Amino acid sequence: LADIDGQDNDGDAALANPEAASFARSLRNHLLYISLAPNCPRMSLTHDGGVFAVAFSPDGTKLATGSDDKTARLWDVATGKPVGKPLLHGAMVRSVTFSRDGTKLATASHDKTARIWDVVTHKLLGEPLKHPQDVVSAGFNPDGTPLTE
């Protein structure tokens, strides 16, 4: 992806939220969040490593990020502050996806697992889904059950 504001890019995530007139773009070890709504500041959401995945919650109030610092994070879109503790993996988090109802988050990692998290409690729901290779994508079927690649 092209550089923004003259910064080198160590991540590769970008996402628009047309309903909220906002977008998010990874730059080095942080995610730049910009809202076009009146009185909404430009925010930088920081990880300890490059940001490689981003997703808006279905209601547009939260952002999820995945990083090579081995964490996924949830962020409050209105304040730019982290929501809860980091969601831990053993390697880079390559994918983050909210369930349709916004209550669960699927994460995929190069630690060869996909994990399903409760968005409110930040607790892991069940055991990690193990795979023989790095997991690069995780999501949900229309019925809400996990789907991984």
End-to-end CA distance of the chain: 23
Spatial CA neighbour of 97 closest among 111, 109, 112 = 109
Distance CA 101, CA 17 (A): 16
Which of 20-34, 41-55, 84-98, 105-119 is least confident? 20-34
Return the pLDDT at 38. Answer: 52
User: Is the predicted pLDDT of residue 44 greater than 70, yes or no?
Assistant: no
* Distant-in-sequence, close-in-space partners of 121: CB < 8 Å, separation ≥ 6: none
Predicted model pTM: 0.76
Which of 24-33, 78-87, 113-122, 130-139 is least confident? 24-33
Q: What is the DSSP string of 40-76?
A: ---EEEE-SS-EEEEEE-TTSSEEEEEETTSEEEEEE
Which has the higher per-residue pLDDT, 2 or 19? 19
User: Is the predicted pLDDT of residue 9 greater than 50, yes or no?
Assistant: no
pLDDT in tens, 81-108: 889 999 999 999 999 999 999 999 999 9
